[in-house]
Structures are given as structure tokens and as C-alpha cells.
Amino acid sequence: MGAVTYPDARVAEFVASRMVPLQVPADSPLAGDFKVKWTPTIVILDYYGKEHQRTVGFFPPEEFVPNLLLGMGKIDFDIDQFNDAILNLDQLLAKFPKSDAAPEAIYLRGVARYKSSRNAAPLKEAYEKLRAEYPASEWAKRAEPYGLL
């Protein structure tokens, strides 16, 4: 990723403006602390160092920023900041609608909208969008029960 993804101007600008990056060598004691077994491993942590997302393997530049936005949305979701989660997921879906992270973002956005309103309509909307745009995704399958709402 150091030769392709990290030097990409869009990636570098996003990381510099929205993240606190830390690159840990695989043979570092910190790699053990973070349970890194293979590189690259991307771990998204909150302010307190709690992990909210982990991915293993290469990301091309056009998939890296959406993955980071998804991780940021997951942090907000996990700490019950549903409106902030929705904002991050909306940004991902607006800028990267065809990314590999988009189906999960649609699903999580629907759940965050439900949890912030207690209205089940966003769950059904998420399912319908997933069924229409990403029918073969695991997220369409996970949202299938929402089609019954």
C-alpha cells in the first residue's frame, strides 16, 4: 500500500485531514498488541484506542477512503452517535456509491436511522436499496427480514 495507495493525493489528503495515522512495522511489539498477523492490516480505533473495524489485505486508492469512512461511521454507531454515523455514511454513499464499502454503509445507515428515530421505515428502505443495487451482496441477505416490515 505504501507504493500505490498511501501516496495517492486523495488518500493522503483524507488521512491528513480526518485521521491520526500510525503505521506499525509487522515486527514491532505494537503489532502484537494490535494482533496484527498479516500486512497490511488496517485497524480503525476511536479516541480511546478501542477497535471498531479491522481489515486485512490491500486496498486500491479508490477503495481506501470509503473503507475509512465506513470505519468512522462504525465508531459513531458503536458509541450511539447515530446522527454522526449517518453523516459519515451519507458522505461515503454520495462520493463512493459503487465502492465495495457501499452495501455495508447502506445497511448500517438504515439501522442508525432506525435507532435514532425508532421508525422502522429506514430499515425497509435500506433493504429495498440493497435489493435493487447490490442484490448479491451479503448485506442484502442480512437485510432481507426488513423487507417484511
Could you give the CA distance from residue 6 to residue 60 in angstroms, rounded to a whole number? 9
What element of type H or E holds 43? strand 41-45
Q: How far is Cα of residue 77 from the mean position of the Cα atoms in its chain?
A: 11
Domain locations in the chain? 9-148
Q: What is the pTM of this model?
A: 0.94
CATH domain 9-148 topology: 1.25.40
Query: What is the pLDDT tens value at each position of the chain, 149 positions in all?
Result: 888 999 999 999 999 999 999 998 888 888 899 999 898 999 999 999 999 999 999 999 999 999 999 999 999 999 999 999 999 999 999 999 999 999 999 999 999 999 999 999 999 999 999 999 999 999 999 999 999 99
Nearest in space to 67 (alpha carbons), one of 44, 47, 85: 44
Please, what's the largest Cα pairwise distance for the chain? 50
